[in-house]
Structures are given as C-alpha cells and as structure tokens.
C-alpha cells in the first residue's frame, strides 16, 4: 500500500539517493552533464528540503512510501500568488508503473488548488520520456524549451482555472488513471 506523506528529516538520505538514481537511469550519453546537475541539486534545495519547501508558504514536499521505504517524491515551490512549480518528481525504478507517480501528481494538484494557484509549471529534460508522457496524460501542455548545457529542457504548464471534470467528461480528469 502506497502512503503519500509530508517529507520528514529522516527521509533526506533516501530522497537524495532516489533523485540521483532516477536521473542517472535516463542519462545515456549525457551522464557527465547529469552528474553535474545532480551535484548542484544536492547542494541546493535538496540539501535543505525543510528550508526550501516546508518553511516557505505555498511550498511543500512529499514522499511516497511502501512498507516504510521511500519509493517516490515530489515538491511544489511557490513562484507567485498564481503559480506553483512542480519539482523533483521521481519514482523508484522497482515501483514504476504502479500508480505512484499518478498519486503524487494528484497530491500536487490538490495542494496547488488549496493554495489558490491558477497554474502549475514544470520543466523536464527530453530524456525523461516516461515522465513526459505521464505529465501530458495528466493535462500538462508543452509550452516551449530551452537549452541546458548539452541537453534540452522542455517546459510544461497545467491550468487550474476550471474545476477538474468528473470521470465522465474531459481528457484532463485526474480520476482517469492510466492502465497498468
């Protein structure tokens, strides 16, 4: 059973390991660039998750655990009164395609709606095709891209202006879970 809960200080080691492993699994020929990005991230917001996500109004960080083990993670950072940014989404390789990412996305969207955000933004690298497919199924739309060292970063946005549609309508319904 998956339990989504707020990050706790004891989660720091497993979260850092999950973040690094998740990116390295898709690094391919960009391993050196990905390693540098991992080190920058581990020294930045992932070095102090409470300070960057839990003590900042409108920001939060969650982990997904199974049998006491961290198997997924995601954060939201407030960018303005109208906008939150989805950050650091990752699911352990041995538990992918089990709905953990989808549950984390639902948690993020519910939080952002509670905060009164009108949209959620995210950025991801083109190598993370499974994540991109999930974001698109969840209603995020591609809005552009930018270069990051030798890789391409894609930018996505999801509007929260309209209330979510029920299971009988709309392709963006958070109730329409992907198949196994």
All structural domains of the chain with their residue ranges: 2-117
At 175 the pLDDT is 31
Can you read off the two tokens belonging to residue 33?
């660039």
For residue 175, give Cα distances in angstroms to 54, 104, 134, 164, 170.
Answer: 27, 13, 14, 9, 10
CA-closest candidate to residue 62, choices 112, 23, 97, 121: 112
Q: Which CATH superfamily is domain 2-117 in?
A: Gcn5-related N-acetyltransferase (GNAT) (3.40.630.30)
At 64 the pLDDT is 97
Can you read off the two tokens belonging to residue 152?
């391409």
* 103-123 mean pLDDT: 97
Name the strand (E) or helix (H) holding 3. Answer: strand 2-6
Q: Model's pTM, two decimal places?
A: 0.83
Mean pLDDT over the full length of the chain: 85
Give residue 115's pLDDT band: very low, low, confident or very high (50, 70, 90).
very high
Please state the φ and ψ torsions of residue 85, each to the nearest 5 degrees: -115, 125
Greater confidence (163 vs 38) lies with 38
* 1-26 mean pLDDT: 89
């Amino acid at each position: 059973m998956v339990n989504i809960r707020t990050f706790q200080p004891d989660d720091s080691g497993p979260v850092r390991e999950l973040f690094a492993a998740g990116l390295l699994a898709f690094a391919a020929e960009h391993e050196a660039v990905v390693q540098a990005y991992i080190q920058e991230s581990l020294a930045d917001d992932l070095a102090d998750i409470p300070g960057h996500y839990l003590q900042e109004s409108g920001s939060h960080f969650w982990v997904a655990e199974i049998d006491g083990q961290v198997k997924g993670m995601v954060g939201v950072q407030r960018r303005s009164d109208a906008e939150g940014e989805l950050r650091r989404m990752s699911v352990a390789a041995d538990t992918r395609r089990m709905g953990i990412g989808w549950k984390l996305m639902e948690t993020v969207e519910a939080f952002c709606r509670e905060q009164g955000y009108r949209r959620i933004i995210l950025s991801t690298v083109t190598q993370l095709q499974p994540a991109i497919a999930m974001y698109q199924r969840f209603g995020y739309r591609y809005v552009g891209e930018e270069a990051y060292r030798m890789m391409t970063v894609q930018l996505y946005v999801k509007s929260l202006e309209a209330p979510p549609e029920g299971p009988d309508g709309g392709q963006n319904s958070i109730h329409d879970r992907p198949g196994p």
